Structure 1
Amino acid sequence: MRVRLGAGGTVDDVRALKTWLEREEPLAELLSEKKLTIEAQTSTDGTRGRLGPDLELVLRVLGDVVTIAALTEYTARAVKTWTNNRRRLQGGDPQPQIRPLDTDGE
């Protein structure tokens, strides 16, 4: 699962969202059981003309512990809550996008 913030997102937003996801149940449970990883990485197909680093979060399931549909639901719910909270506190909209990884994990 890939989570990318749009042009309104910053490096600090990516870090904050990663921390949020790591604390969100049931993602936190999967992380503590070493059945999920969440990594920030540089995007390989970033937005053209965007200034600064183009970072995204990649969530990888380790084993057959959760379906992609369930991970998508957990992630979408957590990202929506984080986005609403950020908008309320800071204004703006980082326009998050959630999509599955390619079959090769990229």
Structure 2
Amino acid sequence: MTEGDRVAVLGVRVRLGAGATVDDVRALKTWLEREESLEGLVSRGKLSIEEQAGTDAADGRLGPDIELVLRVLGDVVTLVALTEYTARAVKTWTNNRRRLQDGDPDPQIRPLDPDGE
């Protein structure tokens, strides 16, 4: 690779909707870190799960402007597999949350752009 060549960043972004709180974002992060299909990747340093300020929040947004970004740090999983693992884990977390709390966190999952944004 020559200087200036960019390596595509593989990952997904998880954003909770207006019915969610900052505590929901943090609870989901903990859930994802412990999810069987993701935990091994995290513990081996092959996947990072980070909270970061939202990048595409609409003006007047009511929910937290924090999203979770899952970045692949090695050649261990495909974007399709990571998206599937994440979607399954988020769905399970959402169903559990609904049984315990009112409101709908309305999660959105989408791949990162090739530049990691």
SS in 2 for 1:6: coil
Answer yes or no: is the 8 Å Cα contact 2:16–2:105 preserved in 1.
yes
- Work out whether 1:27 is the aligned partner of 2:38: yes
Unaligned runs of 5+ in 1: none
Matches within 5 A, 1:40-79: 40-51=51-62, 53-79=64-90
- TM-score if structure 2 supplies the norm length? 0.87
CA distance change for structure 1 residues 52 and 76 in 2, over 3 Å: closer, same or farther?
closer
| Cα RMSD after superposing both structures | 1.0
> Match of 1:12?
23
- TM-score if structure 1 supplies the norm length? 0.96
**Higher-Rg member (1/2):** 2
Unaligned runs of 5+ in 2: 1-11
- The share of aligned pairs that are identical, in percent, is 80
CA–CA distance in 2 between the matches of 1:67 and 1:27?
A: 13
Bigger CA drift: 95-104 or 50-59? 50-59
> Match of 2:103?
92
Q: Which amino acid aligns with 1:13?
A: D
Q: CA deviation at 1:48?
A: 1.8
Number of residue equivalences: 106
